[in-house]
Amino acid sequence: MCELDIPAVALFPKIDSSLKTEKADEALNPETLVLRAVREVKATCSELAVITDVALDPYTTHGHDGLLNADGSDVDNDRTVDVLQAMAVLQAGAGVDFVAPSDMMDGRVGAIRSALDHTGHADTGILAYSAKFASAYYGPFRDAVGSAQAAGTTLLDKSTYQLNPANRREALTEAMLDEEEAADVLMVKPAGPYLDIIREIREESELPIAAYQVSGEYAQIHAAAERGWLDLERCRDESLLAIKRAGADMILTYFAREMVEG
C-alpha cells in the first residue's frame, strides 16, 4: 500500500473454523492472525495507518459480535465489553494506529479508552462504529470472513444491538454518546443508504466523520456493470462523491486501489 499512496488500511481476519468457539477465545490469542498481520504490515510500511476491528464475530461459532447470554437469546453486553477491552489492548500492543469497535455494545468506547490509557496506549486512537445499522448490505463481507458460515446464514439477525434503519434519532444519539466517551473518529455504516445520517452527524460534531461503503454497495455496482446496466467507473466515482459530499472526511471502500491507480 505504501507505493499506492493509500493512507490507511483496515484489517479483518478470516480464521480457520476450527479456531472459532462460543466464547471467541481466539480473539485474545497474542499470536492470532490479525496481530501477526499488523506486525508484518508495520514492519514493511511503518507510515501506513493500520485500523483493526474490535468485535467477536470472526471468532465465534454463532457469528454474533459478542458473547451470548445464558439462554443464547441475545448478546451479553457487559461480558462482551470486558473481552473487547482486552482485545483492543492486544491490538494496540501490536502497533495499530486505530482500534475500531464495530460491535455496537453500549459503553464500549469509554471502556476501551480507559483500558488503553491504563496500559500505556494513550496514543492509540478509537475509530468508533457509531451509527452501524442492521443492514441487508453486509452479506458478501460475512461470507468473506466466515461469520455467515459459522452462523449458517447470511441473514443473521443482529437487530438487538445494531441500529434500526428507520431510526435516525437513535443514530445521532449513539454518535454523540461515542463522542462523550472519547472516540477520535465517528463512523456511519453503511455509507450510501445513509447519506442523511452522515450529514446529520457532520452538523452536530466537530470530530472527523468516517463512512464505510460496505461490501453490498460495492458488489451491486459491480454486478450491474457486469450486466451492462451501469458504467462501472462513473457509478463508482459518483457513489464515492456522494459520500464525501454528505460530509465524510474518510471513506472506507473496496474501491480504494482502483481510485488511487486511476
Long-range CB contacts for residues 144-147, cutoff 8 Å, separation at least 24: 144/14, 144/215, 145/12, 145/13, 145/14, 145/57, 145/58, 146/14, 146/15, 146/17, 146/20, 146/58, 147/57, 147/58, 147/60, 147/63
What local confidence, expressed as pLDDT, does residue 149 receive?
Answer: 52
Q: Facing residues of 68 across strands?
A: 75
What local confidence, expressed as pLDDT, does residue 104 receive?
Answer: 97
What local confidence, expressed as pLDDT, does residue 245 receive?
Answer: 98
Q: Is the pLDDT of residue 78 over 90?
A: yes
What local confidence, expressed as pLDDT, does residue 182 receive?
Answer: 98
Tell me the per-residue pLDDT of 173-210, one tens digit each, with 9 for 90 and over: 999 999 999 999 999 999 999 999 999 999 999 999 99
Q: Facing residues of 54 across strands?
A: 101
**Phi then psi dihedrals of residue 127, to 5 deg:** -100, 100
Task: Find, among 26, 16, 29, 104, the residue nearest to 66 by Cα.
Answer: 104
pLDDT band at 154; cut points 50, 70, 90:
low
The residues assigned a catalytic role are 132, 189
What local confidence, expressed as pLDDT, does residue 147 receive?
Answer: 53
Would you call 206 exposed, middle or buried from its count of C-beta atoms within 10 A (0-12, 13-18, 19+)?
exposed
pLDDT band at 127; cut points 50, 70, 90:
very high
Q: Is the pLDDT of residue 148 over 70?
A: no
Domains and CATH numbers, the chain: 8-261 (3.20.20.70)
